[in-house]
Structure 1
Amino acid sequence: MNESTENLVLEHLRHLRAGTDRLLDRMDDLTARVGRLEVNTARIEVVLAEHSVRFDKVERRLDRIETRLGLIDA
């Protein structure tokens, strides 16, 4: 290979390397973002479960109140 061919190959390799570096940076960013989404989703699921438990308790209490007041059949 002559010098101009070697320079052309090196230039292409540098270009490919730069593109790969950009892709790796984007991949790191996306990985971090997905991780944050997973954490937030888990927190939301916990909050929904807590609300479900609280609604169940309120429903039982309301049923007891309605029964004591004779608003529904026991």
Structure 2
Amino acid sequence: MFGLSELAILLLVVIVVLGVKRLPGLVRSAGRASRVLRSEARATGDAPLTDPADPKLIRARPGDWTRERDEPAA
């Protein structure tokens, strides 16, 4: 996706825009967010899938029609 030179330029732009003082806090919060996201993904993956109590499947047959709006779009 990105080469090494593009990533270096992107890092340089981030340092210039955010400043050296705010960069460690930004990286720290990004690390926390990735850990939370990973743990939530694992927890969601382990949860059993539940079926709805009353699933309804509506199928259209040839010749069926739906009502469309008659008003012109504003």
- TM-score normalised by L of structure 1: 0.40
The higher-RCO structure (CA 8 Å, 6+ apart) is: 2
Larger radius of gyration: 1
- TM-score normalised by L of structure 2: 0.40
